[in-house]
Amino acid sequence: MTLKKVRTAILISGRGSNMQALVEAARAPDYPAEIVLIASNRPEAPGLAWAEAQGIKTLALDHTSYATRDAFEASLQEGLDAVGTEFVALAGFMRLMTPTFVKRWHDRMINIHPSLLPSFKGLHTHARAIAAGVRISGCTVHFVRPEMDEGPIIAQAAVPVLSSDTEASLAARILEAEHTIYPTALRLVTSDRTRREGEKVIISQDVNPSPTLYSPRE
């Protein structure tokens, strides 16, 4: 029997290394999501060029050429609908979305953030983690809600913060963990192995997080 894959679009603004991790994971025949579109609000995003070279459908919508956020999102929605998008993964998408757009994709849009939420929401997370002297940081995949970097947590990975760390070295260590948990999280939410109770995401027993790794294992 062929697996009916969930048609997933990825939204980026820049480098796109998380997008690349998702695209590569989705090549596995048993992966429950298929990547049908890579869209960017920055036409010059390096990730867009990579996706094009892979033969994936891309959409560049320069947000600066839209008078309003609503107008930008209307175009984005059109692009998503044109390829039958069922699920959206934000991967370094640096544009705040209106509550209307977020609600339209309620429980069908996820994001990755480079901290252990709810700590260090927003920008400059690595510098702020170092300045705060935390010993452990990490990354979080969560469902998107209208408030920035908020929403039910799907997966987290913990990463040590070393006393010798710079913003760049910590970012690189966390990024490596991001590339592992994002494909895992997308797999979980597109394969009905999670359910939401209130604002908590429950993962089915067989893929429960290991207590030492703090992230779902498959």
Q: Which residues are catalytic?
A: 113
Smallest separation, CB 107 to ligand GRF (Å): 20
Binding status of residue 17 toward ligand GRF by CB under 6 A? yes
Kindly identify the residues of this chain, within the stretch 106-165, that bind ligand GRF according to CB under 6 A: 112-114
Q: Which residue is nearest to ligand GRF (CB)?
A: 92
Closest to 87 (Cα-Cα) out of 72, 70, 107, 101: 107
Q: Least distance to ligand GRF from the beta carbon of 171, Å?
A: 7
- H helices of the chain, in order, are 17-25, 46-53, 69-82, 99-104, 125-132, 167-189
Name the residue nearer to ligand GRF (CB basis): 81 or 142. 142
| Residues 217, 208: Cα–Cα separation, whole Å | 7
Number of residues that bind ligand GRF (CB under 6 A): 13
Give the residue, chosen from 22, 153, 159, 175, that forms a contact with ligand GRF under the rule CB under 6 A. Answer: 175
Calculate the alpha carbon distances from 75 to 6, 123, 144 in Å.
22, 26, 20
Q: Which two tokens stand for residue 75?
A: 């175009």
Taking the least distance from each CB to ligand GRF, the nearer of 48 and 76 is 48
Report the candidate in 172, 194, 198 with the shortest Cα–Cα distance to residue 32. 194
Q: Which of 6, 9, 18, 48 binds ligand GRF (CB under 6 A)?
A: 18
Q: Which of 32, 79, 92, 183 binds ligand GRF (CB under 6 A)?
A: 92
Angle between helices 167-189 and 125-132 (to 10 degrees): 120
Please answer whether residues 46 and 16 qualify as being in contact, where contact means their C-beta atoms are separated by less than 8 angstroms. yes
Least distance between ligand GRF and beta carbon 8 (Å): 15
Total residues found in the chain within this entry? 218
Decide if residue 91 touches ligand GRF (CB under 6 A).
yes
* 14 sits near ligand GRF (criterion: CB under 6 A): yes
Cα separation, 31 vs 183, in Å, equals 9
Q: Are 180 and 189 in contact (CB under 8 A)?
A: no
Name which of 114 and 151 has its Cβ closer to ligand GRF.
Answer: 114
Q: How far is the CB of 113 from ligand GRF (least distance, A)?
A: 5
Q: Is 178 in the site for ligand GRF (CB under 6 A)?
A: yes
Q: Are 46 and 18 in contact (CB under 8 A)?
A: no
Contacts with ligand GRF by CB under 6 A lie at 12, 14-18, 91-92, 112-114, 175, 178
